[in-house]
Amino acid sequence: MSFLRKMADKISSERSSIPTTVKAYTPPSPAILPPNALRIVVLGAGSRGNAYSHAIKAFDVAQIVGICEPVSFKRYEYGRKYIWGDREPLAHEAFEDWADFLAYEVTRRKRVSAGEIKEGHEEYTGADGVFVCVLDEMHVHVLKGLAPLGLHIMCEKPLATSLEDCIGIHSAVTKEWEALGRKTVFGICHVLRYSPHNMLLHKLIRDNKAVGDIVSVEHTEPVGWWHFAHSYVRGNWRRESSTAPSLLTKSCHDIDFILWLLCSPAPNSQEPPHLPTSVTSTGSLNIYRRARKPLSAGQATNCLSCPIEHICKHSAKRVYVDKHFEKGNTGWPVKIAVPEIEDLWQSHGKETAREKLMDTLREDYGPETLDEDIRKRPWFGRCVFESDNDVCDDQVVTLTWNDNPIATATTTASEMVALHGRGAKTALFHMIAPTEKICERRGRIYGTDGEITYDSTTISVYDFNTGETTIHKPKQDASSGHGGGDNGLALNFVKAVQDVKDGMDAEMAQKKHLGCTIEEVVRSHVAVFMAEEARTQKKVVDWDEFWKREVVGGGKTITVGKCQS
């Protein structure tokens, strides 16, 4: 290990254990907060936890009162920014593990119940809501552990990494609702629903019927050639056995987006969802594999020891150092590789920070390294053609609907012919890695009266009847990811929790602000697992048959979104 690397590690350790003096937002102490102030705890100080916390702080809609994060530097950096500012953190504000927060909260409630401390005065008042932004594979443990507390929960997508765990979370949460005698707000970070762009697109299709009944949808997520390499070849989500298929970890909210457009009823509607009848999928690991490795790269497994590093587009140095760090970007993705990079640059200069980054990129493993040691951490300097990744970098999912008109006791035979938006249709989703655009979705929607084309900034509506084209450019929020979806989701969750705290029924508040029930959350995930079964077994999956076999089987019944009779 280089001298600079050792020094950087020492600096990181010291700065992690002792909060430093930085210019940061300093909230009032818990003892003087307004009695009805909304209190939020965040589990996970990574990029997603910071994204939602940024919205809460920027719009001053709630008080962040606690952070749970195992990496000490990230924990204190987050806390200085959002919770304690220049002062020392209080015991209830910083937790190393989510289980520590759980234990603290259980003990705190016992002390309140015993009269040892007063709720909402000198001692920590507890939390109203929690953002769960830990690693995907931890979600099931965290959510089942938190369920008995009756807290309002917003969970980062995906809900869990297996179908069994998704259904198990639903069962655990709803069972605790019965025990508590009340429901709580429970949401998933399907952020595509909450951007101004997609909300307008949904309104044009569902409310305005801008192109009549939908016949077909083509929706693409271009992941981005270096973004995919960062997250799904070198990063945390590269192995299905450690996390989940890339369709789930990257694109479950795209499947949810399609079902939201074509399947889900309006929040206040009593109409049942128009469910697909079949799902099929094809996909593979095509680009990032050894067969694609340039012969001139030889036996090199790390970019910094590769003879063609200077001309390879996938060079880790080119991506992290030249493309981002040297241009002044120490945020994502550089910060993912070296969490303390910004602090090192500020306190010890650019060169120290750069050498720390280079040391990280030099890290590699050989044939003698245990697979357990390889899989439990990212390797950001590893050759993308020599990595241990196995998730798809190119996948297509097709969903098919049949006619499904709704019959009532007064429906006549002629009225049954009118489909009222519940006609046969198809949707095609394409997740593709080697693209110029980074997650800037695009697509086409074909209807009986017109056609819509969209990207991440513009919606173009062509009317067959008039021959006219209408262009919509929804307002973009540059401070928020996913076209404003990150901010939109965080703010709507806070609004829902605040309404419940003010006396509104939780189910009503969730429908009003999130527009998505826990059953709908699970249904979107089930569709992903259907697609994976279709892909791996090379077959067409029947929606009803799969639901009866995998969801209803064994008593795991979910009443909303169940298979069609």
Angle, alpha carbons 240-251-432 (nearest 5°): 90
496 within 8 A of 514, measured Cβ to Cβ: yes
Angle, alpha carbons 42-372-144 (nearest 5°): 35
Amino acid, res. 451: E
E strands, 308-449, in order? 394-401, 425-432, 442-447
Q: What pLDDT tens digit does each residue of the chain (565 aa) get?
A: 443 344 334 333 433 332 322 233 333 343 345 667 899 999 999 999 999 999 999 888 999 999 999 999 999 999 999 999 989 998 889 999 999 999 999 999 998 888 887 776 545 678 999 999 999 999 999 999 999 999 999 999 999 999 999 999 999 999 999 999 999 999 999 999 999 999 999 999 999 999 999 999 999 999 999 999 999 999 999 999 999 999 999 999 999 999 999 998 876 777 899 999 999 999 999 999 999 999 999 999 999 999 999 999 999 999 999 999 999 999 999 999 999 999 999 999 999 999 999 999 999 999 999 999 999 999 999 999 999 999 999 999 999 999 988 876 566 666 555 677 899 999 999 999 999 999 999 999 999 999 999 999 999 999 999 999 999 999 877 666 777 789 999 999 999 999 999 999 999 999 999 999 999 999 999 999 999 999 999 999 999 999 999 998 755 545 433 333 2
- What angle do the packed helices 341-348 and 350-362 form, to 10 degrees? 140
* Cβ within 8 Å of residue 110, ≥6 positions away: none
- Selection from 387, 431, 385, 433 nearest residue 225 by Cα: 433
Q: DSSP code of 382?
A: B
426 within 8 A of 217, measured Cβ to Cβ: yes
Rg (CA), the chain: 25
Amino acid, res. 523: R
> Tell me, what's the pLDDT at 25?
32
> Tell me, what's the pLDDT at 16?
35
Which run of H or E residues covers position 214?
Answer: strand 214-222
463 within 8 A of 476, measured Cβ to Cβ: no
Measured between alpha carbons, how far is residue 549 from residues 36, 170, 248, 316, 542 in Å? 46, 17, 20, 45, 11
Measured between alpha carbons, how far is residue 487 from residues 82, 458, 494 in Å? 16, 20, 11
Look up residue 453 and give its two tokens: 């084309």
Amino acid, res. 70: P
Domains of the chain: 18-191 (3.40.50.720), 194-288+390-475+517-555 (3.30.360.10), 290-375 (no CATH)
CA dihedral 66→519→391→239, nearest 10 degrees, is 40
Instruction: Enumerate the H helices of 421-560 as residue ranges.
Output: 485-501, 506-513, 518-537, 543-546
DSSP string, 63-116: EEEEEE-SSHHHHHHHHHHHT-TTSPPPTTTEESSHHHHHHHHHHHHHHHHTTS
Instruction: Enumerate the H helices of 212-300 as residue ranges.
Output: 225-228, 246-249, 252-262
27 within 8 A of 57, measured Cβ to Cβ: no
